[in-house]
Structure 1
Amino acid sequence: MANQLDLEEQEQLDQIKHFWKQYGNLITWVLIVVLAAFASWNFYNYWQRSQANQAAALFDEVERSIQSGDSAKIDRVFSDMKDRFASTAYAQQSGLLVAGHYATTGKADVAKSTLLWVAEKSSDAGYQAVAKLRLAGILMDAKDLDGAMSQLGSSFPAGFEALVADRKGDILALQGNRSKAVEEYQKAYRLFDPLTEYRRLVEIKLGALGVNVQNTAPADAAQGK
């Protein structure tokens, strides 16, 4: 009986040896690939978290430098942000903050270049839209009306249509194109939520152009159905 068991065990061992001889290398390489992929994924996640933490810390530094009003420090910290973390949301947020600071301190050219960077480099459509709208406003204030309008010519993500129409109305009004300005303002008025204060501002702009805002009431009623 013992000999029979020994023979069966030997036969099983021989089968295992044969199987491993035939498929052992393949199994080994598959395991290596799987483990390497797992290690790479863990490293990538660690690297992403590390990048996000470092970018967040640098963003805090950008905010502090803006609060201090130290232009040299703002430029240095924001340049560091662009060099190291340009693809992160923190870099885009920093760009909008820095542009806002320079716009309010009379450095329109720096604000424009910063907003252009956000509009061109950001992978987030929302940040791009905000940058273009603000850039159009700065160009409009500088009397570069064609340049301002060109910033509004591309597509914008959902939720920005009313703001774009309102800004187009501003530019067209400055260009003396009353009919087109009224058309854009009316579009903005229809798109803005009735409860927003911004809608009231558009109403005032329409009134300044001699348009009774009640003319848009039928369109609003149709939207409410």
Structure 2
Amino acid sequence: MDVYQTEEQQVEAIKGFWKENGTAVIAGLVLGFAGFIGFNYYKDAQLANEVETSDAYQTVMESAGKDEQLFSTSANKFITENKDSSYASLTAFALAKEAATHKDWPQVAKHLTTAIESATNQGIKAIASVRLARVQIQLEQYTEALVTLSVTLPESFKGAVEETKGDAYFKQGKAELARNAYQTALDVEGQANNSALQMKLNDLAQLSSIAK
């Protein structure tokens, strides 16, 4: 404030500033305060909604294994009403598990597809994708399984993805593609961590030698 030579000039400058800008400053403060209140209200409302969704999910899960029809009805209703929540995917997984106990693979595939579509993080999406591909192989839908696995998934699932691709290729009679996929999976996971995968490669090599 050294441009002002007296305190009087400083006071007059402040008065002039408030006269010209006071209304705007006050309005800005009011709006800012209102925004702060609104933001906190939003956070509180969001938290309350998450707690409510969690409670509803727990209620649905409690009916699993007790009343199959009630569980199916309430679970599907929950998914419809909470399709943007991570709980929707978890509920779809539970429905898929229930259907798998009856070996109803088309229903399992349907629920896993729902789990993929409603997934809110890549980990859940990857788990559902690999499981869906395996079910599609069970249904002899080999091309569909490969399409399911063609999307970009986290690197940590590469081994599972490649092994499942190998299974699909093997069922299609594409031995070379199956071998390459199995080998890639084995390179990722290591032989010590997946002896079953090594057995698949060994069996494939034996079949190839017999065919020759």
Determine the structure 2 residue equivalent to 1:219: none
Q: Aligned to 1:209, what secondary structure does the other structure show?
A: helix
Determine the structure 2 residue equivalent to 1:86: 83
Map 1:190-205 to 2 at 5 A: 190-193=187-190, 195-196=192-193, 199-205=194-200
Question: What is the CA–CA distance in structure 2 between the aligned matches of 1:95 and 1:124, rounded to whole Å?
Answer: 15
Determine the structure 1 residue equivalent to 2:22: 24
Q: Deviations over 1:144-184 (max 9, x none)?
A: 11111111111111201000000011111111111111111
- From 127, 152, 156, the equivalent of 2:153 is 156
Question: What is the CA–CA distance in structure 2 between the aligned matches of 1:53 and 1:193, rounded to whole Å?
Answer: 42
Q: Deviations over 1:40-66 (max 9, x none)?
A: 211221122112212221222232222
Question: What is the CA–CA distance in structure 1 between the aligned matches of 2:81 and 2:122, rounded to whole Å?
Answer: 21
Output the amino acid matched with 1:206.
Answer: L
**Which range is displaced more, 118-127 or 132-141?**
118-127
Q: Is residue 115–residue 128 contact of structure 2 (8 Å, CA) maintained in 1?
A: yes
Distance 1:125 1:139, change over 3 A: same
- From 203, 207, 210, the equivalent of 1:208 is 203
Aligned length: 201
Q: Is residue 85–residue 118 contact of structure 2 (8 Å, CA) maintained in 1?
A: no
Question: What is the CA–CA distance in structure 1 between the aligned matches of 2:103 and 2:191, rounded to whole Å?
Answer: 34
Determine the structure 2 residue equivalent to 1:130: 127
Determine the structure 2 residue equivalent to 1:144: 141
Q: Is residue 55–residue 81 contact of structure 1 (8 Å, CA) maintained in 2?
A: no
Determine the structure 2 residue equivalent to 1:6: none
Output the amino acid matched with 2:70.
Answer: K
Output the amino acid matched with 2:62.
Answer: R
Q: Which consecutive residues of structure 1, in runs of 5 or more, have no partner in the other structure?
A: 1-9, 212-225
Output the amino acid matched with 1:24.
Answer: G
> Could you list the runs of 4 or more consecutive aligned residues of structure 1 that deviate by over 6 angstroms after TM superposition?
10-15
Question: What is the CA–CA distance in structure 2 between the aligned matches of 1:39 and 1:109, rounded to whole Å?
Answer: 50
Normalising by structure 1, we get a TM-score of: 0.79
Structure 1 vs Structure 2: percent identity of aligned residues?
A: 23
Deviation, 1:194, is: 5.0
Determine the structure 2 residue equivalent to 1:60: 58
Question: What is the CA–CA distance in structure 1 between the aligned matches of 2:165 and 2:48, rounded to whole Å?
Answer: 42
Question: What is the CA–CA distance in structure 2 between the aligned matches of 1:98 and 1:140, rounded to whole Å?
Answer: 19
Normalising by structure 2, we get a TM-score of: 0.84
Deviation, 1:30, is: 0.7
Map 1:91-130 to 2 at 5 A: 91-130=88-127
Question: What is the CA–CA distance in structure 2 between the aligned matches of 1:28 and 1:83, rounded to whole Å?
Answer: 46
Q: Which consecutive residues of structure 2, in runs of 5 or more, have no partner in the other structure?
A: 1-7, 207-212
Deviation, 1:12, is: 8.6
Question: What is the CA–CA distance in structure 2 between the aligned matches of 1:186 and 1:204, rounded to whole Å?
Answer: 11
Residue 182 of structure 2 is aligned to residue 185 of structure 1: yes
